[in-house]
Structure 1
Amino acid sequence: MKKLLLSSALCAAAVLSAQIDFSSTRFGITAGGTYSRISNAHNPSGPRFSGYGGVLAMIPVDSNNQFYIQPQVEYLGAGETGKDKDAKGKIGYDAVYANNYISVPIYFKAYFSEAESEFFAMAGPKFNFLVNQKVTDPSKPYYAVDELSAYPGVNGKANSFNFALGFGVGYSLKRQLEIAARYDLGLSNTYKGLMNEPGSDPNIAKKKSEQVLSLGLSYIFQ
């Protein structure tokens, strides 16, 4: 089975590479807002609103201008806060656990038809490299980045690399101005140092995955 899957992947890659037309690549800029959460990490836990911005390239993989590979390089704000509606007024409600990344998604993008103005969908891997992490007003001392904890191995430092799968849908106006909603499903463990946190909560030992919803605009140059 493994040999069959590998052979199929190699055949697909060979066919795809034969269709890629780098000479027709178009470039653009993209920006938008983000809503992020991290599962099983901090208590209290709430969303962080931030944003992203960067550049993209649209590389055709067919002759009908319907299918593309779209790599992007973005500055991405993610993480979470302590703004759980049930914790208002409690310690940690005003906490901010900000993770900021250089993010490199590589999408396969498909327009639903060959029309100039059309809906599209995209999906692909996303590689996030931590640029900086800022923690303010944490509910527990060891949630801070550089805090020396009384519990060995327990710390709130975010992982320097995160991997996610990105999915999106959008609408393109004349293949130039586009609006897209995206969801990033985090597959990495963002806070390994919090898996040894003291307490009896069963969520402590679970993976701390980062999820990001975003809505943004892209402008693609002719």
Structure 2
Amino acid sequence: MSEIKISEKFSFQPELLYSGQGYDTGISTEGNIALNYLNIPLIGKYYVTKRLSLEAGPQIGFLLSTKGGTKDYKDLFKTTDFGVNFGLGYKLDNGLNFGARYVLGLSNINDVGSLKNKNGVLQLSVGYFF
């Protein structure tokens, strides 16, 4: 990720993230299905104080792989996912930063008939800006 300062209160933060997501199918023979994405969020940040920021922005995700038990379910899911991020960030003067974010999925990730599922992801992060 990189933070690009626009003004004293606003900045833009493009990111490139690996995200392991998934769900429990509720079927004992299927178990959990893991979905692995490469996500690209484009975050706008508004600094409420010098250190505390409100964050929001769109995200596109690309499905890399799936796994459930011993099966590969990639043909059952769409290859792209769209969502919107909402969160908070806190940055210390020494470059250490903390974040909490929720990604609200906007698109149906299934490619099977009338079945409709959307991703919803809670992210917690610790990072360091150089």
Tell me if 1:58 matches 2:6: no
The amino acid of 2:52's aligned partner reads: F
TM-score by length of 2: 0.88
TM superposition outliers: structure 1 runs of 4+ over 6 Å: none
* One-letter code aligned to 1:216: S
Deviations along 1:191-216, one digit per CA (max 9) or x if unpaired, are: 13152xxxxxxxx5xx3111001111
Relative to structure 1, is the Cα distance of residues 189 and 220 closer, same or farther in structure 2, using a 3 angstrom cutoff? same
The CA deviation string for residues 33-57 of structure 1, in whole angstroms up to 9 with x for no partner, is xxxxxxxxxxxxxxxxxxxxxxx01
1:163 paired with 2:82, answer: yes
Corresponding residue for 1:193?
112
1:130 correspondence with 2:60: no
Structure 1 segment 61-76 matched on structure 2, within 5 A = 61-62=6-7, 64=8, 66-76=9-19
2: distance between equivalents of 1:104 and 1:145?
23
By how many angstroms is 1:158 displaced?
Answer: 1.3
What is the aligned partner in structure 2 of residue 107 from structure 1? 43
Partner of 1:96: 32
- Give the length in aligned residue pairs: 130
SS in 1 for 2:112: helix
What is the CA-CA distance between 1:75 and the residue it aligns to?
0.8
State TM-score, norm by structure 1.
0.54
**What letter corresponds to residue 5 of structure 2 in structure 1?**
P
Distance in 1, Cα, partners of 2:111 & 2:62: 16
User: If each structure's helix is expressed as a fraction of its own residues, which one has the higher value?
Assistant: 1
2:96 alignment partner, one of 143, 152, 177: 177
- Which has more strand, going by share of residues? 2
CA RMSD of aligned residues (A): 2.1
Q: Is the 8 A contact 2:30 2:68 kept in 1?
A: no
Asked if structure 2 preserves the Cα contact closer than 8 Å seen for 1:104 and 1:128, the reply is: yes
**Is the alpha carbon distance of 1:93 and 1:180 closer, same or farther for their aligned partners in structure 2, counting shifts above 3 Å?**
farther
* 1:77 alignment counterpart: 20
Q: What amino acid sits opposite 2:45 in the alignment?
A: K
